[in-house]
Amino acid sequence: MCFSFDAHPPDLPRDLARPIGGGAKAEQLELTSADGTAFSVALAGSPDGDPVGVVILPDVRGLYRFYIELAERFAEAGHHAIAIDYFGRTAGTGERGEDFDYWPHVRETKVEQVEADAAAAADALRERTGASAIVTVGFCFGGLQSFLAAMSPELALAGAVGFYAGLDTSRWGIASPVERAAEIRCPLLGLFGGADEGVPVELVHQFERNLAEAGVEHHIEIYQGAPHSFFDRKYEEYAAACEDAWRRVLEFLTAVDKLTVHR
């Protein structure tokens, strides 16, 4: 499993947070996907947000408080953000408790469904905030989905970020991003824990080699000694890794913004 139900995203580095009166509050909404499915999202707009908007792809729990707060942190950093839920088709909409049995719903979730929901979320972000370029930021199961979405011509992402993305996809019955690295169509940032038992470092290194051979613009960072789901405020021993990860993500968004402007 990824984060615990009571997890909270690490605070932004103080020099990167922008003062927003009253804080950036996310609005919880329902959107409709291309197949007519209603699904839940949390959208946080930034008063001075730049053209790069963030679509957050959660871990196996789907949308819950951690990702609502994460959208708010991105807004505080100057980026409009929207976090999506995966399970509108099988679990309906609305807030769920700690006892939510997510695995049956994860098993029924298809890549094409995630991408359709991400596309609807990106459209909502553009319409409501004026964001003109979209970057996905995913965690664990969502990190895998972020890398797969980077291959989609329909989504046409400006960039993709994955925290401890699941690279061994044998249990899902789909080809891994490691095997499909040459299909990635945008810059990519991968952040992994060196002590993550679920994502072998050797597989991360193979992914990095395949990206390089394919000429995909990328950066892979492995935090030595950090476990899966290290990006959690309560893990004080990984505070340095969390701060560095925040900086790398926000620098990545800035670089994407510059690339977008000059296209």
Domain boundaries of the chain, sorted by first residue: 27-261
pLDDT digits (tens, 9 = 90+) for 181-206: 999 999 999 999 999 999 999 999 99
For residue 22, is pLDDT > 60?
no
Contact, 189 vs 219, CB < 8 A? yes
Average pLDDT over residues 61-69: 96
**pLDDT at residue 250, rounded to an integer:** 97
| Structure tokens given for 10 | 């690490």
- Give the Cα separation of 247 and 231 in Å (integer): 13
pLDDT in the model for residue 142? 97
Percent of the chain scoring above 90 in pLDDT: 85
Instruction: Look at the pTM and tell me if it is higher than 0.75.
Output: yes
- Mean pLDDT taken over the chain: 93
Residue 23 is predicted with a pLDDT of 57
Closest CA to 218 of 205, 203, 201, 202: 205
Is 60 exceeded by the pLDDT of residue 256?
yes
CATH number belonging to domain 27-261: 3.40.50.1820
**Higher confidence at residue 2 or residue 190?**
190
Residue 10 has pLDDT above 60, yes or no: yes
pLDDT at 262: 44
pLDDT category, 261, cuts 50, 70, 90? low
Average pLDDT over residues 110-115: 98
Q: Is beta strand 52-57 parallel, antiparallel or unpaired with respect to 133-139? A: parallel
Q: Is the pLDDT of residue 241 over 70?
A: yes
pLDDT at 257 (0 to 100): 80
Q: pLDDT tens for residues 152-168? A: 999 999 999 999 999 99
pLDDT at residue 1 greater than cutoff 80:
no
The pLDDT, as a whole number, for residue 263 is 45
DSSP strand pairing (218-223 vs 188-193): parallel
